[in-house]
Amino acid sequence: MQSIILYHTVGCHLCEDAEVVLSSFRKAGVIDVTLVDIADDDALVDLYGIRIPVIRKADAPTEEGELGWPFDHDKVNEFLNF
């Protein structure tokens, strides 16, 4: 199972869409998703403020192993190398 971080914030409809895309992978048990609200950290706001939602492989350096919106099931599948 891969660990994924989803950078998001409250009230972001694209972030909600990203959660829907990731839900099928979660239900299949192939990923574990940690939600990180960027509003809680000024450095994350600077890094992701205009880019969210962004998913990142938890074991990857910050800009490597990231996938920014827009993404769909196929793009996530490719990103995860399944």
- Containing 46, the helix (H) or strand (E) segment is helix 42-48
The ranges assigned to domains in the chain are 2-79
Closest to 52 in 3D by CA, of 10, 4, 22: 10
Give tens-digit pLDDT for 9-47: 999 999 999 999 999 999 999 999 999 999 999 999 999
- Please state, rounded to an integer, the average pLDDT across all residues of the chain: 94
* Annotation: CATH topology of 2-79: Glutaredoxin (3.40.30)
Task: Show the tokens assigned to 63.
Answer: 């800009």
CA distance 4 to 34: 6
Q: What is the mean pLDDT of residues 44-65?
A: 90
Task: Show the tokens assigned to 17.
Answer: 């869409």
1-10, 32-41, 55-64: range with lowest mean pLDDT: 55-64
What percentage of residues in the chain have a pLDDT greater than 70?
A: 96
